[in-house]
Amino acid sequence: MKLANFKSLLWGLPVIVILSMLMYGCPSQQQLGANADAAQKVYVAPGEYDEFYGFMSGGYSGQLSVYGIPSGRHLYTIPVFSQEATNAYGYSEESKPMLNTTHGFVPWGDSHHPELSQTDGVPDGRWIFINENNTPRVARINLSTFTTDEIIEIPNSAGNHASSFVTPNTEYVSAATRFSIPMDDENLNNEDVPISEYSEHFKGTLSFIKVGDDGKMGIDFQILVPGFDYDLSHAGKGPSDGWSFFTSYNSEQAHTLLEVNASKNDKDFIAAVNWRKAAEYAAAGEGRMVEGEHYRNYVDHDTHTAKSELIEEVRVLDPRELEGLIYFLPTPKSPHGVDVDPSGQYIVAGGKLSTVIPVHSFEKMIQAIENEEFEGEIDGIPVLNYDAILHGEVENPGLGPLHTEFDDRGNAYTTAFISSEIVKWDLETTQVLDRIQTYYSPGHLMIPGGDSQKPWGKYLVALNKITKDRYLPTGPELFHSAQLIDISGEKMKLLLDFPTEGEPHYAQAIPADLVRPNQTQFYKLEENNHPDAVKGEDETRVERDGNEVHIYMSTIRTHFAPDNIEGVKVGDKVYFHITNLEQDWDIPHGFAVKGMNNSELLIMPGETRTIVWEPKKVGVIPFYCTDFCSALHQEMQGYIRVSPEGSDVEIAYGTGQ
Ligand SMILES: [Cu+2]
């Protein structure tokens, strides 16, 4: 082709685009949007309830957001890993211990993957777990109160991405180090070594957190693995129950510019862990205990107060010493998501640089292990033969396949990040059946129950990373977006867009009927064993103890007792211990002091919360209720007098004089 012709072709391209736009118009509402009956399908009339609770991770907000599905209405945000001024989570004395770590108090976290507890492979509505990706932790949230009940830190780990995924009877929550780090041979302590010595010193760990019947979490064991990056996980089910699968990338063991250097190998690995066998090894005292300080923070329900315990050791299993723990399944190419279908037969990987979606067969995997069809071994872990374990490859799955969920009719749905679409395909034949555009760049997707043994396969939610041109703009930062898609028919249909908080990574949903009847409406005052509680106004008082002043205060519609307090001095440390005496649903009271270097308090009925104030200025300072509690809410206020340091004003208090 002559250069001139080539140039004219180049110039011609935009002309063709413009011409076709003139002919066909800009993308119509029809193309960008939903079908005509979509509004009816997502409309939840005033006073009616959504069919599902949807739980979406808040990503860098550190929290977990709750949405109604199909309406897309934001119902609530549960504080988990970040301080939340709305209700003093991480600010009040009772909740601060929840954010304790071996690095001290960490006020922020990066929440990623929520996962509902399961019984017999079906979400049961007891708890939802969520991981923290930055300072490795896993939280358990109680779905009767929608509050965080427990957070456990994970030692010998750096970053915690491949969690929190539960086994079919919530025996374990699995986790894995996202970043491998140098570990000494003796105690796996992080070492001061040159980063260039990555391949000699760096290792990873996979962690299994045992969950008791009461929800109590404890790290049962960790498995030492090669120094790759461990990305996502899912538990086996049905025939594959007893196994968990973890994706890894960077089998190249690169330590710089991973976008190039970790993209060289044609295949990385899924680590298939026989957790039942590992649990037997652990119970028999195999492996070894190593140093591994980590905090377990939990709410003592008797006192409504969080407590921290430091655990000093952890059991580590080494695949070089213990046979049959773990196998590597070669998987193209830089796999991200790994998802096990409801039958438990198929293990689907999303190779983000792969042109196909590999589907491994669990049955073939077991056969290959029995027949020792190994391609090699890495650090004591046999590498299985790819062809021996493959059920099939999905051709033309879209560009950048990441995550797959399933309906209850044998179909799989995979997000394609680069080509911005969801691709529906048949699990048995691996044939593509349908595809739908998303707007834009979906990461995870979620079908209620879609990673369990019982998908409620009616809706699919695409969790999109980019929202350009979908909503009224909000400056440089555009919120992330969910798209609700009807998957009840043969063709997928877009129903609704709704913006989400932070960056929702993964999500879960459960029929509302499995959660709503169990809601706690208020805390019983007679069961409140908080040491600083008052059970009635006659118990309210103010006491000085050196430079500490303890104010035992009550709230009830619509006054504080006491509401006039004197004798506090600059330099004092003032503890407001406030008990909400209400015994009725949805009557919280709030509490805020002018200039307090802390948050407000929000106190649920029957609860006691404490907040600390260090007054720095002389004067009479107002405080008030922040939660509109009755017609006379505005009158719910008081004063605290602050005298100079060394003044002889005595402690005095009262209400109603
Ligand atoms: Cu009030």
Instruction: State yes or no: pLDDT of 8 exceeds 90.
Output: no
Between the CA of 580 and the centroid of ligand 1 the distance, in Å, is: 9
pTM to 2 decimals? 0.94
Query: Whole-angstrom Cα distance, residue 151 to residue 295?
Result: 8
Strand partners, 555: 560, 580
Cis amide linkage into residue 558, ω under 30° from 0: yes
Q: How far is 144 from 126, CA to CA, in rounded Å?
A: 7
In this model, does residue 151 exceed pLDDT 90? yes
pLDDT confidence of residue 5: 41
Q: Phi first, then psi: give them for residue 196, nearest 5 degrees.
A: -65, -15
Instruction: For residue 648, report the distance from its CA to the centre of ligand 1, in Å.
Output: 33
Which phi and psi (to 5°) does residue 31 adopt?
-70, -40
Which of the four pLDDT bands, split at 50, 70 and 90, describes residue 29?
A: very low
Cα(617) to centroid(ligand 1), Å: 26
DSSP annotation of 332: E
Residue 3 is predicted with a pLDDT of: 39
Residue 312: left if φ>0, alpha if ψ -120 to 50, beta else—which one? Answer: alpha
Quote the ligand 1 centre to 630 CA distance (angstroms). 7
CA 412 to centroid of ligand 1, rounded, Å: 50
| CA 22 – ligand 1 centroid, Å | 60
CA of 556 relative to ligand 1 center, distance in Å? 7
- pLDDT score, position 2: 39
Q: Which residue has the tokens 């923290």?
A: 132
What's the sign of the alpha-carbon dihedral 262, 263, 265, 267? positive
The answer, yes or no, to whether residue 30 has pLDDT greater than 50, is no
Dist CA 471 CA 617 (whole Å)? 46
Kindly tell me if the per-residue pLDDT of 1 is higher than 60.
no
Reply yes or no on domain 52-518 having CATH 2.130.10.10.
yes
Using the structure block, give the residue that is written with the tokens 């041979």: 185
In contact, 113 and 57? CB cutoff 8 Å: yes
**pLDDT tens-digit readout, 403-456:** 999 999 999 999 999 999 999 999 999 999 999 999 999 999 999 999 999 999
- Number of residues written out for the chain: 657
Q: What pLDDT score does 32 carry?
A: 58
Residue range 187-223, pLDDT digits in tens:
999 999 999 999 999 999 999 999 999 999 999 999 9
Q: How far is the CA of 393 from the centre of ligand 1 (A)?
A: 61
User: What residues are paired with 101 via a beta bridge?
Assistant: 104
CA of 521 to the centre of ligand 1 (A): 17
Ligand 1 midpoint to CA 291 (Å)? 49
Helix, coil or strand: residue 128: strand
For ligand 1, the distance from its centroid to the CA atom of residue 560, given in whole angstroms, is 8
Segment 71-106, tens digit of pLDDT: 999 999 999 999 999 999 999 999 999 999 999 999
Ligand 1 centroid to Cα of residue 549, in Å, is: 23
Beta strands in 84-136 (DSSP E): 100-101, 104-105, 111-119, 122-132
Nearest CA to 335 out of 241, 244, 233 is that of 233
Share of the chain above pLDDT 90, in %: 92
Question: Which tokens belong to 556?
Answer: 């009830």
Rounded to the nearest whole angstrom, what is the distance from the C-alpha of residue 378 to the centroid of ligand 1? 63
Residue 301: HSE in the Cβ half-sphere, 13 Å Cα cutoff: 13
CA of 558 to the centre of ligand 1 (A): 6
528-654 matches 52-518 in CATH topology: no
* 628 Cα: distance to centroid of ligand 1 (angstroms): 6
Q: Is the pLDDT of residue 12 over 50?
A: no
Q: What is the CA(108)–ligand 1 centre distance, in A?
A: 29
| Distance from residue 636's CA to the centre of ligand 1 (Å) | 6
pLDDT digits (tens, 9 = 90+) for 342-378: 999 999 999 889 999 999 999 999 999 999 999 999 9
- Give residue 651 CA to ligand 1 midpoint distance, Å: 25
Q: Report the run of H or E that residue 21 belongs to, with start and end.
A: helix 3-24
pLDDT tens column, 127-136: 999 999 999 9
In this prediction, residue 25 has a pLDDT band, given cuts at 50, 70 and 90, of very low
pLDDT of residue 35: 75
What are the tens digits of pLDDT across the range 469-501? 899 999 999 989 999 999 999 999 999 999 999
**Is the dihedral angle over the CA atoms 182, 109, 126, 583 positive or is it negative?**
positive
- CA distance linking residue 311 with residue 293, whole number of Å: 6
Query: Distance (Å, rounded) from C-alpha 488 to C-alpha 412?
Result: 13
Query: What average pLDDT is seen over the chain?
Result: 94
Q: How far is the CA of 75 from the centre of ligand 1 (A)?
A: 22
**Among 5-19, 30-44, 264-278, which is the least confidently predicted range?**
5-19
Is the per-residue pLDDT at 7 higher than 50?
Answer: no
Distance (Å) from CA 526 to ligand 1 centroid: 21
State how far the Cα of 275 lies from the Cα of 202, in Å rounded to an integer. Answer: 23
Taking every pair of C-alpha atoms in the chain, what is the biggest distance, in angstroms?
98
Radius of gyration of the chain (CA): 28
DSSP state of 259: H
Question: What separation in Å is there between the alpha carbon of 237 and the centre of ligand 1?
Answer: 49
> How far, in Å, is the centroid of ligand 1 from the Cα of 150?
29
- Residue 624 Cα to ligand 1 midpoint, Å, equals 8
Q: Ligand 1 centre from 236 Cα, in Å?
A: 49
Give 243 Cα–ligand 1 centroid separation in angstroms: 51
Range list of β-strands (E), 301-389: 305-317, 326-332, 335-340, 346-351, 356-361, 374-378, 381-384
Domain ranges of the chain: 52-518, 528-654
For tokens 């096990």, the residue is 340
- CB count in 10 Å sphere of residue 75: 13
Tokens, residue 28: 């119509």
CB count, 10 Å around CB of 409? 12
Instruction: Work out the burial of residue 419: count CB atoms within 10 Å of its CB; fewer than 13 is exposed, 13-18 middle, 19 or more buried.
Output: middle
Residue 577 Cα to ligand 1 middle (Å):
16
β partners of residue 270:
247, 329
Kindly report, residue by residue over 590-644, the tens digit of the pLDDT: 999 999 999 999 999 999 999 999 999 999 999 999 999 999 999 999 999 999 9
446, 412, 444: which is closest to 430 by C-alpha? 412
In the structure, ligand 1 is a single-atom ion and the residues with CB under 5 Å from it are: 589, 625, 629, 636
Structure confidence at residue 31 (pLDDT): 54
How would CATH label the architecture of 528-654?
A: Sandwich (2.60)
What are the tens digits of pLDDT across the range 225-258? 999 999 999 999 999 999 999 999 999 999 999 9
- Residues with Cβ within 8 Å of 463's Cβ and at least 6 positions away in sequence, in order, are 56, 442, 443, 444, 445, 446, 480, 481, 482, 500, 504, 505, 506, 507
Strand ordering across the sheet containing 619-624: 601-603, 589-593, 619-624, 637-643, 564-569, 652-654
Rounded distance, CA 164 to CA 219, Å? 13
